[in-house]
Amino acid sequence: MNMKIAFVGKGGSGKTTLSSLFVRHLAATGAPVVAIDADINQHLGAALGLDDAEAAGLPAMGEHLSLIKDHLRGTNPRIASTEKMIKTTPPGEGSRLLRVREDNPVYDACARPVELDGGTVRLMVTGPFTDADLGVACYHSKTGAVELCLNHLVDARDEYVVVDMTAGSDSFASGMFTRFDITFLVAEPTRKGVSVYRQYKEYARDFGVTLKVVGNKVQGQDDLDFLHDEVGDDLLVTVGHSDWVRAMEKGRPPRFELLEETNSRALRTLRTAVDATYELRDWARYTQQMVHFHLKNAHSWGNERTGDDLAAQVDPGFVLGEEVATLA
Ligand SMILES: Nc1ncnc2c1ncn2[C@@H]1O[C@H](COP(=O)(O)OP(=O)(O)OP(=O)(O)O)[C@@H](O)[C@H]1O
Ligand SMILES: [Mg+2]
């Protein structure tokens, strides 16, 4: 299994900036990366250096939901049709799984290569959100396209999927927040910044979510002390103001190796924390959680919406895992 990483946090905290820096860091070491923009404000492409026209030309996952469902459904007999597949429908026997490095119809339709210093990554974007996307019970939810992909993704070590994501009610209701090996909560040293952390922590508690705080725009000892007081040991590392980021925002990105040394070190700390979660992985639990959220969504809106009992989509003998990947 690849390593799945989410960057979440309050609007404007620096999710997109830190996601993009981490993606650049991974790419510079030659690691295979899929970067996914699932943030309300779609800026990951720009943060990875695309100009406005290139960013606007990216295909939207939300517009390819049927294709994604159709591909992933494969020959799974428990999923009668694409229309009966909702964002939480789990894989089972006959489903198609995704891998980071392969070519497949989902990537053909939804991913575009982005060249960075040191390597090329795949970028996928949900597309701009509408009011309907922010609803909890949304059949066409754009983040649903991401969740489906995450629930069908398996792979080997040292491959990374980085998701820039909004910490909204949608991700809590659907179970999206449980789909990651590690979640980096980006927080500025402010009360609002850490209040999102508290909410996340509360949801995460019952699901074994590995949550680490990345302090951003941290300027001195007082900022550091504040974050320590508020989040304690969950504080992994902090990032200060970056002139490199500012230059990039002006459309003049310096070479990545010119990123400030303290910020490079912070990115290496993130990488070490990500890689350490490999040993914590539990495929059975991961699969059980998808089933849990599927049954919850089926009950609260999916059954009514599709006219079927979607509990029947659960394949009781199926456990997602690296072994499954080799058989599929
Ligand atoms: N460490 C930093 N150094 C310099 N500028 C930064 C840093 N972190 C974030 N910024 C700037 O702050 C602004 C907000 O950051 P960013 O877009 O990454 O936040 P976000 O959490 O993704 O916001 P949104 O909720 O709007 O998607 C951007 O202009 C970004 O360039
Ligand atoms: Mg953003």
Spell out the per-residue pLDDT of the chain, length 328, in tens. 468 999 999 889 999 999 999 999 999 999 999 999 998 889 999 999 999 999 999 999 999 999 999 999 999 999 999 999 999 999 999 999 999 999 999 999 999 999 999 999 999 999 987 666 665 556 667 888 999 999 999 866 789 999 999 876 667 778 899 999 999 999 999 999 899 999 999 988 899 999 999 999 999 999 999 999 999 999 999 999 999 999 998 888 899 999 999 999 999 999 999 999 988 888 899 999 999 999 999 999 999 999 999 999 999 999 998 666 444 4
CATH of domain 3-315: 3.40.50.300
CA-nearest residue for atom 12, ligand 1, is 14
Complete DSSP assignment for 192-225: HHHHHHHHHHHHHGGGT--EEEEE-S--SHHHHH
Nearest partner of 175 among 96, 85, 64, 90, judged by Cα: 90
The reported pLDDT for the residue numbered 138 is 65
Q: How far apart are CA 323 and CA 120, in angstroms?
A: 28
Mutational pocket test of ligand 1: of 7, 8, 10, 16, the residue with most ligand atoms within 8 Å of the beta carbon? 16
User: Which two structure tokens, joined as six digits, stand for 248?
Assistant: 């990039």
In this prediction, residue 128 carries a pLDDT of 82
HSE value, Cβ hemisphere, 13 Å, CA-based, for 60: 15
Best of 8, 17, 23 for a ligand 1 pocket test (most atoms within 8 Å of beta carbon): 17
3-state secondary structure of 304: helix
Torsion of CA 304, 180, 80, 110, to 10 degrees: 110
pLDDT at 238: 97
- The CA 184 to ligand 2 mean position distance, Å, reads 14
- Centroid of chain to Cα 123: 12
Q: What is the pTM of this model?
A: 0.95
What pLDDT, on a 0 to 100 scale, did the predictor assign at position 327?
A: 42
pLDDT of residue 310: 97
pLDDT of residue 173: 77
Which residues contact ligand 1 via a Cβ below 6 A?
9, 11-17, 39, 41, 43, 216-217, 239, 241-242, 245-246, 249
Domain-wise residue ranges, the chain: 3-315
Q: Which bound ligand lies closest to the C-alpha atom of 8?
A: 1
Q: How far apart are CA 261 and CA 184, in angstroms?
A: 21
* Residue 141: predicted pLDDT: 74
Give the burial class of 77: count Cβ atoms within 10 A of its Cβ; 0-12 exposed, 13-18 middle, 19 or more buried.
Answer: exposed
Q: What is the pLDDT of residue 171?
A: 72
